[in-house]
Amino acid sequence: IYGTHHLDQQGAKWEAQLRHEAAIARQVVFEGESTVAALQCARVLETDVVLPDAPKGQVIIEVTHRGARDKSYTNSYKAIPADRRFRLEIRPDTWPKIAGTLSARVCSPDKYTYGYLNSVGYYVVRFDVDFADWPKGGESVPLRLAKPFAGKLQT
Protein backbone atom coordinates (compact mmCIF):
# COMPACT_ATOMS: atom_id res chain seq x y z
CA ILE A 1 0.00 0.00 0.00
CA TYR A 2 1.64 3.22 -1.15
CA GLY A 3 2.72 5.64 1.55
CA THR A 4 2.35 3.38 4.58
CA HIS A 5 6.10 2.97 5.24
CA HIS A 6 6.27 -0.76 5.91
CA LEU A 7 9.63 -2.23 6.78
CA ASP A 8 9.06 -5.37 4.73
CA GLN A 9 6.65 -7.10 2.36
CA GLN A 10 5.11 -9.13 5.17
CA GLY A 11 3.99 -5.96 6.99
CA ALA A 12 2.41 -4.61 3.81
CA LYS A 13 0.55 -7.90 3.23
CA TRP A 14 -0.70 -7.89 6.82
CA GLU A 15 -2.13 -4.37 6.51
CA ALA A 16 -3.67 -5.18 3.12
CA GLN A 17 -5.37 -8.23 4.68
CA LEU A 18 -6.78 -6.10 7.53
CA ARG A 19 -8.09 -3.50 5.08
CA HIS A 20 -9.63 -6.26 2.95
CA GLU A 21 -11.40 -7.82 5.95
CA ALA A 22 -12.71 -4.39 7.04
CA ALA A 23 -14.12 -3.78 3.56
CA ILE A 24 -15.83 -7.20 3.51
CA ALA A 25 -17.32 -6.60 6.97
CA ARG A 26 -19.00 -3.41 5.76
CA GLN A 27 -20.41 -4.70 2.48
CA VAL A 28 -23.78 -5.13 4.20
CA VAL A 29 -24.66 -2.71 7.02
CA PHE A 30 -28.05 -2.70 8.72
CA GLU A 31 -29.43 0.40 10.43
CA GLY A 32 -32.35 0.41 12.83
CA GLU A 33 -34.02 1.95 15.85
CA SER A 34 -35.20 0.27 19.02
CA THR A 35 -36.14 0.77 22.66
CA VAL A 36 -34.10 -2.18 23.97
CA ALA A 37 -31.99 -0.75 26.81
CA ALA A 38 -29.59 -3.74 26.80
CA LEU A 39 -28.52 -3.10 23.20
CA GLN A 40 -24.74 -2.68 23.10
CA CYS A 41 -21.81 -3.23 20.75
CA ALA A 42 -20.79 -6.84 20.02
CA ARG A 43 -24.23 -8.19 20.93
CA VAL A 44 -25.93 -10.46 18.42
CA LEU A 45 -29.38 -9.17 17.57
CA GLU A 46 -31.89 -11.73 16.34
CA THR A 47 -35.10 -10.41 14.82
CA ASP A 48 -38.50 -12.08 14.38
CA VAL A 49 -38.05 -11.98 10.62
CA VAL A 50 -34.97 -13.81 9.29
CA LEU A 51 -33.09 -11.49 6.96
CA PRO A 52 -31.62 -13.14 3.84
CA ASP A 53 -28.28 -11.32 4.27
CA ALA A 54 -28.09 -12.16 8.00
CA PRO A 55 -29.58 -15.61 8.68
CA LYS A 56 -27.59 -15.96 11.93
CA GLY A 57 -28.52 -12.51 13.20
CA GLN A 58 -26.75 -9.17 13.29
CA VAL A 59 -23.72 -8.05 15.30
CA ILE A 60 -24.14 -4.54 16.67
CA ILE A 61 -21.16 -2.35 15.71
CA GLU A 62 -22.47 1.09 16.71
CA VAL A 63 -25.19 2.30 19.11
CA THR A 64 -26.43 5.81 19.84
CA HIS A 65 -28.61 6.13 22.95
CA ARG A 66 -31.11 8.98 23.36
CA GLY A 67 -33.50 9.99 26.08
CA ALA A 68 -34.67 12.99 28.06
CA ARG A 69 -37.17 13.88 30.76
CA ASP A 70 -39.80 14.73 28.21
CA LYS A 71 -38.90 11.96 25.69
CA SER A 72 -38.78 8.22 26.21
CA TYR A 73 -35.60 6.22 25.74
CA THR A 74 -34.68 5.17 22.19
CA ASN A 75 -31.54 4.07 20.44
CA SER A 76 -30.33 3.77 16.89
CA TYR A 77 -27.84 1.16 15.81
CA LYS A 78 -25.71 -0.10 12.97
CA ALA A 79 -25.02 -3.80 12.54
CA ILE A 80 -23.36 -6.29 10.21
CA PRO A 81 -24.27 -9.94 9.55
CA ALA A 82 -23.22 -12.16 12.47
CA ASP A 83 -21.45 -14.65 10.21
CA ARG A 84 -18.89 -12.04 9.10
CA ARG A 85 -15.67 -11.21 10.91
CA PHE A 86 -15.71 -7.69 12.34
CA ARG A 87 -12.72 -5.48 11.65
CA LEU A 88 -12.29 -1.81 12.44
CA GLU A 89 -11.53 0.36 9.46
CA ILE A 90 -7.94 1.60 9.20
CA ARG A 91 -8.41 5.34 8.87
CA PRO A 92 -5.11 7.24 9.14
CA ASP A 93 -6.94 10.56 8.65
CA THR A 94 -8.41 10.18 12.16
CA TRP A 95 -5.09 9.44 13.90
CA PRO A 96 -3.67 12.14 16.19
CA LYS A 97 -1.19 14.48 14.57
CA ILE A 98 1.33 16.86 16.05
CA ALA A 99 1.73 20.05 14.08
CA GLY A 100 4.89 22.04 14.60
CA THR A 101 8.02 21.20 16.52
CA LEU A 102 8.52 19.43 19.84
CA SER A 103 11.88 19.70 21.51
CA ALA A 104 13.45 16.57 22.96
CA ARG A 105 16.78 15.08 23.92
CA VAL A 106 18.17 11.81 22.55
CA CYS A 107 18.37 9.13 25.28
CA SER A 108 19.94 5.72 25.60
CA PRO A 109 19.92 2.70 27.90
CA ASP A 110 22.43 2.58 30.77
CA LYS A 111 25.23 0.74 28.94
CA TYR A 112 25.48 3.25 26.04
CA THR A 113 27.45 6.48 26.38
CA TYR A 114 25.88 8.13 23.34
CA GLY A 115 22.38 8.06 21.90
CA TYR A 116 21.35 4.52 20.97
CA LEU A 117 20.46 4.09 17.30
CA ASN A 118 18.55 0.87 16.52
CA SER A 119 18.92 -1.28 13.40
CA VAL A 120 16.47 0.79 11.32
CA GLY A 121 17.85 4.18 12.36
CA TYR A 122 15.46 5.19 15.14
CA TYR A 123 16.31 6.95 18.40
CA VAL A 124 14.59 7.01 21.78
CA VAL A 125 14.03 10.56 22.99
CA ARG A 126 12.88 12.33 26.14
CA PHE A 127 10.45 15.12 25.38
CA ASP A 128 11.10 18.33 27.29
CA VAL A 129 7.41 18.60 28.25
CA ASP A 130 7.38 15.12 29.85
CA PHE A 131 8.29 15.23 33.55
CA ALA A 132 7.37 11.61 34.38
CA ASP A 133 9.92 9.09 35.61
CA TRP A 134 10.75 6.56 32.89
CA PRO A 135 13.34 3.77 32.83
CA LYS A 136 16.49 4.57 30.86
CA GLY A 137 15.90 3.92 27.18
CA GLY A 138 12.12 3.71 27.65
CA GLU A 139 11.22 7.39 27.51
CA SER A 140 9.43 7.16 24.15
CA VAL A 141 8.73 4.83 21.29
CA PRO A 142 11.57 4.73 18.74
CA LEU A 143 11.41 7.82 16.51
CA ARG A 144 13.20 8.95 13.38
CA LEU A 145 15.48 11.93 13.82
CA ALA A 146 13.79 14.78 11.96
CA LYS A 147 16.47 17.46 12.10
CA PRO A 148 19.19 18.08 14.65
CA PHE A 149 19.56 21.57 16.10
CA ALA A 150 22.74 22.77 17.78
CA GLY A 151 21.90 26.44 18.27
CA LYS A 152 21.35 29.64 16.35
CA LEU A 153 22.72 29.38 12.78
CA GLN A 154 24.05 25.87 13.58
CA THR A 155 21.98 23.28 11.75
Whether 1 shows a pLDDT value over 60: the answer reads no
Range of the domain at 152: 98-155
**Based on the domain organization, do 69 and 20 belong to the same domain?**
yes
**Based on the domain organization, do 86 and 16 belong to the same domain?**
yes
Highest mean pLDDT among 49-53, 65-69, 84-88, 93-97: 65-69
Predicted pLDDT at 3: 63
Tens of pLDDT along 12-34?
899 899 999 999 999 999 999 99
Asked whether residue 1 is assigned to any structural domain, the reply reads no
Q: Please state, in angstroms and rounded to a whole number, the distance separating the CA atoms of residues 106 and 115.
A: 6
Domain finish residue from 55, 74, 90: 90
**pTM across the whole model:** 0.61
